[in-house]
Structure 1
């Protein structure tokens, strides 16, 4: 259900500024997909190659209504993600995305950026959280600050599973979030590393 709901939300964002490519095979997509936000190699780790592959990215709204979404498909497999500016605390984010107690969840953090993923072969997903203040949200920061929250999942067949799939989804979410941080014009200076720590090392 999560993948279906994300897909519907992303479809609702399609409008001006959509970047769409229709080519034969993932290897013919640009080296950086999602309007240059995500390395193609991250997608190729997760999705199987097929005769056709598409990708698009779209920015919807500004300020409190900011969002940035991307979807990459290969045959019937779809890797999609959305980053939204939300008024959510770290604990609220973790409660929402951390899942129930019977699900295996992996977590990492670095330089104030947090990530987690549910390791479920039939419902894998990942999320990234980073505080972000933009013009017009300062008056609300005393009660509960704003943050960029990325939500990524995959539908259909994948070439990897388990923690490796969780890592690929998290890398996709992290790179999407780094671009969203620029597009949203988050005011706080933040040093984003090339990648987050590896789940397998924690």
Structure 2
């Protein structure tokens, strides 16, 4: 029985072999290129009968023909159907995503503060309903953590779709003995034994891109 989001997340990967995790990584890379690389998407549409020739150029080690329901318009209807078994990589990804959705729900549920802080809980519930109303299905990906630690001012990404309205990156919390002491004090002030605090995030508003 899973008791926390941390345990559930760990199990997602512990029960898979290194090869299976690598396969998931390459499927993810394929989907990222499909959604964010215009040249990749164009090349794929021009080589529908031989998509492997495209992915090979990008270093993607999975065969798109084994996951047609993930990307081909004529096959997407089979994604949640028994016929999807004909495309093993699509099944692999679907099972993984179902587990990640479950993990998301656990994180959201762990943030329940109805007993510890009823007023905060009521505010959080309003925010969740507001997001559901304004953002539609995309709101489902938000876990609404009850705490977050920002170790930088602003973000280097500048993504137009940022849900945090982060400003331009101005600097980060550099490591030093003084900062380490301060951070330990902050961490000690958070009830680490509480599952609610474990649903929080570190390095909030930080992105790996460089302006």
Larger strand fraction of residues:
1
If asked which structure has higher relative contact order (CA below 8 Å, sep 6+), I would say 1
Larger helix fraction of residues:
2
Q: Is the pair's TM-score, using the shorter chain for normalization, greater than 0.5?
A: no
TM-score if structure 2 supplies the norm length?
0.22
